[in-house]
Amino acid sequence: MGSGSSEVLGISSKEAQERLKKYGYNKVEKGKRLSDWEILINQFKNPYTLLLLSVALLSIFLGEKTDTFVIASIVLLGSLLDFWQERGAYRTVEKLLSMVRVSATVIRDGEEKEIPIEYIVPEDIVVLRAGDMVPAEGTVLKEKDLFINEALMTGEAYPVEKKVGDYLYMGTHVVSGFGVMKVIKTGKDTEYGKILQRLKLGKGETDFEHGLRRFGYTLFEVATLLTLLVFAVNAYYNRGIINSLLFALSLGIGITPVLLPAVVSVGLSYGARHMARKGAIVKRLASIENFGSMTVLCCDKTGTLTEGKMKVYAFKNILDEDDKKVALFSYVNSYLQTGYKNPVDEAIKEWMRSEDISEFKKLDELPYDFNRKRLSVLVRRGEENLLITKGAYSHVLEVCSYAQIGGKIHDLHEVLENVEKVYTDYSQRGFRLIAIAYKVVEKESVSYEDEKDEIFLGFAVMHDPIKEDAKNVLKKLLDLGVELKIITGDNKLVAEYVAQQIGLQGGVISGEDFRKLSEEALISRVKDTFVFAELSPLQKDAVVRALRKAGYVVGYMGDGINDVAAMRSADVAISVENAVDVAKESADIVLLKADLETVIDAVLEGRKTFLNTMKYLFMQTSSNFGNVFSMAGASFLVPFLPMLPKQVLTANLLTDGAVMSIPTDTVDEDEIKSPKRWDMSFIKRFMFFFGILSSIFDYITFIFLLYIFKVRPEMFRSTWFLEGLLTQVLVLLVLRTKKAFTKTKPSPSLILTVVLVVWLGFFLPFTPLGNILELKPLDNRLYAFVFIITFTYLLSVEVLKKFFYKRYNF
């Protein structure tokens, strides 16, 4: 190959390290690794935090150094807490992702090596085989029937044949054949990287992400209005400009979900860790919510409903007799083809491994693709050249004009009834039939046009047993509110047989039926159809999109090249650890084994994670809204600053510490039995309903403290600090469940943090720190009052909770 021969030896490992330092990792922007410093800086992006620190800094010049130090310390301590939690969540996800790294085969130091694709550098020599993702950009040095799917870059659905010198783009994938490429560009320098940065390609926001963002904006707007109002009122009553501003900003921090990113990250990463223990690796945290809200799961039957171990049952001719020629030609085709690796060829090779086929010399190949659904190998045996074709029955039949019985050649139409009978009989019994045909040619190379006028020979009859627990697993999915739909490229009769055996009832659509349906008709039909068979990759994709338009949250489980388009269209893409690279790269969740039991476990974990994240939102927003609403009113009713800024921030810090354990909490069994989705209107109702209830008790507290007990300002603040802290923390145990709080057990972590924060609330006024915060121990009558008001509040929440959930359902 001239100069190319030295190129194929590749670069050295040492040179690769130097190039990695020069060009960086072979990653696009979405794969950027956040450093600890970046995670820390992210904690200070909340505008209220920055404003509070700015005003605290200003107060130093006005002589209030002690208070400034205290406020700054509390804010920094809270930010460090968020940082520690979020860093732990981020690193957990990194570890999980490393378990499903997509790798590539490169030639370094003169030998083939498997390396993670991010370590590929310019000048690397990459070996490509069917199912591989093209990991960078470069030119083809060697090829044999190399077909690349470039749909990601060009939108063209059909594979493109690549020759020596042709350019390959990152993100495309090998459909069939073999190739060797020389890398020219990596990472952000590739066209894929540029497009991704320019158009932000990839999946859009999930419902969960979109809902969180909108909700954050809503709270920020409310907080801004209340902050301005509180500042204006306190400044008007001459309670000190700086103190009024610090107080108002402290309230802003109180109502805005400062901890929301950290709690969501911690909650999702905690769920991801649990899902990993169940055998599911989460690649995209936000997909956990989609997993929990999934209402339909689409999967192939092979490996999920069946054992996934294809075995040869027999080689039959069209008279349903065992036939050695059918077996031999099947084996020659499977052994010599170099394109798409698949279980059928592996099973045939295993069955026939002792057969000597040295008399067959390969001349050329027409690789398998998912539109033709067949592959042909041109071989020489003696003086004759034979084109041997193997593939899906209907797709092989369409290139045949003749059929062979014994040593005689017949017109295909004369014996078609026999052929159909054998095919139908075995298919209805659950066997998969691979058709075999051949013809003699005079050429030493062939093109697709040569696949015609062939002689139909017979079938390789394959068997993949249905899993023993498939029926039980289907029932579990249905009990969880998840429908199962079989989407397969296999023949209709086999797919129907599998569906019947596991108890899946409903309509069937084949690829041929599919072509006759309009988009609107398909959307209507998908609801009652449970088997989609003989589909091309684009038809699978269309089914997924139709299901989504019909209102389903769609999970798609795929492991092959033919599943990638459908996976990218699904709400949550699921793959398996031994899938082809491009399927794993497209997946949101990767299962360590192809098993629906693992899917069920992961769905349950997804729902638990989502529900615990919602608990944080429900409880924090309702109590914070109530507190801020109370403080806004207190600014009018109370003739002094109702709570000092440092006291507000300390209360926030303590409650933040308690809610950080929510991701570990248990979830009611009833709550995870149905799919869960983000509901903005429900969250708003919850926030107003329980927030107003909290405020009512705060106003009762104000009245008692001002007009019954007639306490001094410092005692007013200390009493309200304790009452506010206790109600806000203890209500976690009540609102965490729809049931009576005595009937469901919180997690040990949640109990521990709640008890610890309550103890701190009582103990703090007796410490030097309490002195700095100007918190005073209460007398017995005030402790009794705090106990009564807290108990009455919790009892009211418990009673009204039943009323609320009867009227509004989540």
- Count of alpha carbons within 13 angstroms of residue 34, beta-carbon side: 18
Cα(711)–Cα(708) distance, integer angstroms:
9
CA distances from 751 to 147, 418, 731, 747, 760 (A): 59, 73, 12, 6, 14
Query: Confidence band (pLDDT; 50, 70, 90) for 469?
Result: confident
Q: Check residue 4 and give its pLDDT.
A: 40
CA–CA gap between residue 314 and residue 539 (Å, rounded): 31
Provide the pLDDT for residue 408. Answer: 92
Closest CA to 570 of 539, 548, 601: 548
Q: What is the pLDDT of residues 643-666, one digit of tens each?
A: 887 888 788 778 877 887 888 889
pLDDT recorded at residue 793: 94
Q: Average pLDDT, stretch 136-154?
A: 82
DSSP H helices, 526-595, are: 537-549, 564-569, 581-586
The pLDDT assigned to 321 comes to 95
Distances (CA, A) of 518 to 158, 506, 509, 515, 524: 22, 20, 13, 8, 10
Q: Of the spans 339-353, 422-436, 629-643, 661-675, which averages the highest pLDDT?
A: 422-436
Read off the pTM.
Answer: 0.70
Q: In the numeric block, which tokens belong to residue 610?
A: 């989502």
Give me the pLDDT at residue 320, please.
94
789-800 pLDDT, tens digit each:
999 999 999 999
Least confident of 40-54, 185-199, 484-498: 40-54
On average, the pLDDT of the chain sits at: 83
Instruction: Give the least confident one: 67-71, 231-235, 449-453, 628-632.
Output: 67-71
pLDDT greater than 60 at residue 45: yes
| Other Cβ atoms within 10 Å of 321 Cβ, number | 14
In Å, what is the CA distance from 25 to each residue of 19, 20, 111, 719? 10, 6, 22, 57
Digit-coded pLDDT (tens) for 430-465: 898 999 999 999 999 998 899 999 999 999 999 888
pLDDT tens per residue across span 10-36: 899 999 999 999 998 888 654 455 677
Q: Work out the average pLDDT over 243-248.
A: 74
| pLDDT at residue 50, rounded to an integer | 62
What pLDDT score was predicted for residue 54?
Answer: 63
Q: Which residue has the higher pLDDT, 342 or 748?
A: 748
> Residue 261: its pLDDT value, please?
60
pLDDT of residue 634: 80
User: According to the model, what pLDDT value does residue 538 have?
Assistant: 82
pLDDT the model gives residue 583: 75
pLDDT above 90: residue 307? no
Q: Active site includes 300?
A: yes
Domains of the chain: 4-32+101-199 (2.70.150.10), 36-92+205-276+602-807 (1.20.1110.10), 294-307+467-593 (3.40.50.1000), 311-463 (3.40.1110.10)
pLDDT at 719: 96
pLDDT attached to residue 148: 86
Span of 112-126, 467-481, 498-512, 586-600 with lowest mean pLDDT: 586-600
Catalytic position from the list 67, 82, 145, 300: 300
SS3 495: helix
Return the pLDDT at 765: 96
pLDDT of residue 122: 94
- Listed in sequence order, the residues at least 6 apart from 307 whose beta carbon sits closer than 8 Å to its beta carbon are 464, 465, 466, 467
